[in-house]
């Protein structure tokens, strides 16, 4: 399972300020988007981060990309704190960590030719001369399954799946070590989704890439991931190797998520655990377990005490009082 650790997240916290609590109050109202999470990414593996909207999974990705500053904790890239990087080291980090986002329509500049778009990162980082860059663009287009004459076209001439391929080509242009995939297939049609997932897995094998795969779709996460963490309201509630989490889910939230997956088989009778209510507003839930108001297993103890993430079997961590 384990290999060389490439990125380590220690007690990462990211709070967003929502203004002051009252006119005369000096206390700022904070939204805890990510509240103390730990995990490690290992070389050549895929780490799946699952959760519903607003659970902090995208914020985590953005913190790693240094698109956000962090409130507390540290992110170590190959043993070094990424926030201590200056100058050359910072550029190197930016080169080593790339991202592919959900919406391929939004992430492409409509006025840029595809070739220019893929070439831009190399230009910024000043690698290769002009003719080498052109060669590299053609090579990258080939790698992601497009043809080299596509490079002179504009984004609007491409379908959603092709656009996502272009974004992947750009992410690969600097030979990254780690790629943050933030819902890369959610906006795509079903028949195209499988193509892109296959492409991502092929590229991982070919270039030894490490992925942080952020998604709300558990069946996709199961397919691509080696290790999975489930987030609920800014915290990781369960974390385990992929097979373990799907065969033996322990946290009630993971159970509910898994049972909410609709299996495309009309003959299968599923006993769905249907959670009541919406994801809670974390305000007013300062004490105790954040999931307790939707949990089918909650007791009085859950109102009082917050569960820690504890290792219940090797590599399998759960934050639930009723499990431990």
Partner 1 sequence: MSQNEKILEVKNLKTYFFTNVGVVKAVDGGNFHLRKGQALGIVGESGSGKSVTSLSILRLVPKPAGRIVEGEILYRGEDLVKKSQKEMREYRGNKLFMISQDPMTSLNPVFTIGNQIGEAIRRRKKLTGHDLKEKIVEMLKVVHIRASETRAHAYPHQFSGGMKQRSMISMALACQPEILIADEPTTALDVTIQAQILKLMVEIREQYHTSIILITHDLGVIARFCDYVLVMYAGKIVERADVKTLFKGNRHPYTKGLINSLPHLGKKQRRLESIKGQPPDLLNLSGGCPFEPRCDYSVERCSVEYPPVESAGKGHLLSCWRWREI
Residue 96 Cβ, how far from partner 1 at the closest point, in Å?
Answer: 27
Residue 242 Cβ, how far from partner 1 at the closest point, in Å?
Answer: 8
User: Binding partner 1 by CB under 8 A: which of 88, 111, 131, 263?
Assistant: 263
Cα gap 21→27, rounded to integer Å:
6
198 is an interface residue for partner 1 by CB under 8 A: yes
Residue 49 Cβ, how far from partner 1 at the closest point, in Å?
Answer: 15
Residue 150 Cβ, how far from partner 1 at the closest point, in Å?
Answer: 12
**Only segment of 94-102, 120-128, 155-163, 284-292 that touches partner 1 (CB under 8 A):** 155-163
197 is an interface residue for partner 1 by CB under 8 A: yes
Residue 115 Cβ, how far from partner 1 at the closest point, in Å?
Answer: 19
HEC letters along 270-305: CCCCCCCCCCCCCCCCCCCCCCCCCCCCCCHHHHHC
Residue 81 Cβ, how far from partner 1 at the closest point, in Å?
Answer: 34
153 is an interface residue for partner 1 by CB under 8 A: no
Of 1 and 263, CB closest to partner 1: 263
User: Binding partner 1 by CB under 8 A: which of 49, 257, 309, 320?
Assistant: 257
320 is an interface residue for partner 1 by CB under 8 A: no
**Only segment of 108-116, 117-125, 257-265, 297-305 that touches partner 1 (CB under 8 A):** 257-265
**Only segment of 8-16, 33-41, 220-228, 297-305 that touches partner 1 (CB under 8 A):** 220-228
Sequence-separated (6 or more) residues with CB below 8 Å from residue 116:
none
226 is an interface residue for partner 1 by CB under 8 A: no
218 is an interface residue for partner 1 by CB under 8 A: yes
User: Binding partner 1 by CB under 8 A: which of 219, 248, 299, 315?
Assistant: 219
User: Binding partner 1 by CB under 8 A: which of 14, 150, 193, 317?
Assistant: 193
Total binding residues toward partner 1, as defined by CB under 8 A: 47
Site of interaction with partner 1 (CB under 8 A): 52-53, 159-162, 189-195, 197-198, 201, 216-220, 222-223, 242-243, 246-247, 256-257, 259-268, 270, 272, 274-279
């Amino acid at each position: 399972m384990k290999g060389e650790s490439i990125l380590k997240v220690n007690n990462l916290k990211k709070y967003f300020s929502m203004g002051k609590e009252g006119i005369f109050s000096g206390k700022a109202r904070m939204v805890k988007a990510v509240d103390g999470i730990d995990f490690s990414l290992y070389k050549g593996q895929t780490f799946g981060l699952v959760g519903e909207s607003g659970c902090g999974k995208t914020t985590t990705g953005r913190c790693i990309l240094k698109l956000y500053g962090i409130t507390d904790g540290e992110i170590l890239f190959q043993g070094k704190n990424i926030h201590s990087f200056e100058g050359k080291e910072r550029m190197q980090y930016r080169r080593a960590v790339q991202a592919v986002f959900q919406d391929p329509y939004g992430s492409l500049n409509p006025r840029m030719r595809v070739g220019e778009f893929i070439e831009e990162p190399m230009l910024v980082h000043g690698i290769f001369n002009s003719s080498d860059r052109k060669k590299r663009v053609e090579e990258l287009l080939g790698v992601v399954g497009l043809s080299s004459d596509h490079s002179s076209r504009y984004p609007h001439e491409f379908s959603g799946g092709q656009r996502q391929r272009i974004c992947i080509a750009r992410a690969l242009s600097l030979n990254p070590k780690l790629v943050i995939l933030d819902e890369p297939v959610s906006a795509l049609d079903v028949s195209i989704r499988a193509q892109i997932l296959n492409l991502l897995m092929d590229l991982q094998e070919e270039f030894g890439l490490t992925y942080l795969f952020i998604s709300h779709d558990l069946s996709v996460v199961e397919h691509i991931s080696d290790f999975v963490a489930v987030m609920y309201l800014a915290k990781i509630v369960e974390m385990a190797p992929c097979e373990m989490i799907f065969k033996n889910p322990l946290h009630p939230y993971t159970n509910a998520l898994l049972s909410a997956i609709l299996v495309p088989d009309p003959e299968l009778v599923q006993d769905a655990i249907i959670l009541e209510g919406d994801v809670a507003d974390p305000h007013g839930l300062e004490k105790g377990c954040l999931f307790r108001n939707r949990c089918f297993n909650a007791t009085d103890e859950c109102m009082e005490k917050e569960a820690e993430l504890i290792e219940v079997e090797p590599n399998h961590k759960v934050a639930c009082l009723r499990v431990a």
